[in-house]
Amino acid sequence: MKTYKHAFVLLAIILGTTACKQNEPDTTTTEKSFLLTKGASYYWGNAGEIWGDDELAGSNVLALDLYSERLSYNNESQEYVGAGYNLYIENIFVDTTHITLAPGTYAMDSISGAPFTFTPGIWTTQNYPYGAYLTTVKGTTISYEIITAGTFTVSEKGDSTIIDFTLQKEDGTIITPQFRGMPDKYDASGSNDYSFEPQPATTQDWTFTHADTAICYGDYYGNNTANMDLYMGNDDVFAYLELNCPPLTGDSIPVGRYEVNTTHQAYTVTASGGYVADENYDLPSFIGIYKEGNTYSNAYYLISGTLDVSRTAGNYMLELNAVSYFGSTIHAIYNGDIHVKIPVQKSRATISRQTPGKRTATPGKRNRMMYGNRIEQ
C-alpha cells in the first residue's frame, strides 16, 4: 500500500470529566493517554493479491483512521479542523474470513502478514510518515510521530467497539490511547478502475522525444531501494513510470533490466493499479493519451513486461516492452538526457507526490469519510 490514506466515525463511551481533559492536547508534547471517539476502518483486500506474494494469501489487509472528539478532517479542503489526535494504522492483518477488525490482540511485527499483526511506522526520505503513526494538531501546529512497537486489543460491547492501545513512539515514550464508539466500516478493495484503457487490445509503438526530470523519493517503501518517478513522452502520449532502483551512488538512474511487477524491489517498475476514482488519479505505471493542453483522456495500464536502461556518453537509452491490463502490447523507446533530482529533507508533514496531468472529466475530490463502499453495521 502506498501513499494513500483513509478514515472512521465512532460514538463516545467514556468516563465524564477525564474524557474532556484528554480529548485535545493542551501542551506541546503528546499526552500519554487520550480518548479517540470517531473514525473508520477500511478493507483493502487480500494481502497475497495486493503484494503479489502467495505466502501472504492467508490474510486480509485493513487500515484504521481514528480521531479524538474535537478533531475532524475537512474533505473539501483536505485539511484538519480543530485540535486533537489522529491515530492512523496501516497494514493491519486479519484472517480471510474477516473484512473488518476481528476481536483479539494485535501485535506489531515486520510485514510477516500473519493474522493479528500490523506493521511499524517508518519515515520515508522526505519524512512522510508511513505505516503506524500519530498526528497531533494544536492550533496551526501539526506534528507527526511514528509508532515503532506495541499492541492493541479489540473487543465488542453491544454495538460499540472497544480498542485499547499500548504503543511505543520512536523516542521510546509509551502511549495508551483508547477508542470507544461505533466506527464506520468501508470496503475499499474494489476502488480501482481500468475502464479508461482503450479497448480492444492493440499493438502500440512510440518514440519518446523528451524526458522530464526524474524525481527520486529515496527509500519510499522502506525496503532499501531508491524510488523514482520518470516521465517521458512526445506530442501524443506520455509515460509515467515508477522505478524502484537499488540505492543510488550518484545522480543517475542505475542501468539494467527492470521488471514490471508489484514487488517494489530493486530493478522493478511498479505495475499499474489502474484509475482510483475516490482519489481522482491514475496509479503508476501507465501511458497517458493526450487530449489537449495538459489533460489526458485515456491510459494504458502496464501490468507486466520489462524496461531496459543503458547509458552511453551521458545519454540514456530506454526501451519499454510491456503488456497493458486489457492485453495491448506496448513498445516505446527514448534516447537522450535525463536529469535526476535527488530528494531534499523536508519538514515532517504529509507530502503529496506530483500528478502527471489532469483528466478532462473528474468525479470530484476524494472523501476520506466515504472511501470505498460502506459496510452495513
Residue 230 has pLDDT above 90, yes or no: yes
Average pLDDT over residues 42-67: 86
Residue 319 has pLDDT above 90, yes or no: yes
Domain boundary assignment for the chain: 16-189, 193-343
Residue 367 has pLDDT above 80, yes or no: no
What does the angle CA 254 – CA 285 – CA 144 come to, to the nearest 5 degrees? Answer: 85
What would the grid cell of residue 374 be? Answer: 460502506
| Residue pair 197/299 in contact by the 8 Å Cβ criterion | yes
Cβ partners under 8 Å of residue 250, min gap 6: none
Residue 190 has pLDDT above 60, yes or no: yes
Q: How confident is the model at residue 346 (pLDDT cuts 50, 70, 90)?
A: very low
Average pLDDT over residues 48-62: 83
What would the grid cell of residue 145 be? Answer: 510521530
- What b/e string do you get for 159-170 counting C-beta neighbours within 10 Å, with b at 16 or more? ebbebebebbbe
Nearest to 80 by CA among 120, 24, 28: 24
| Residue pair 174/166 in contact by the 8 Å Cβ criterion | yes
DSSP string, 1-21: --S------------HHHHHH
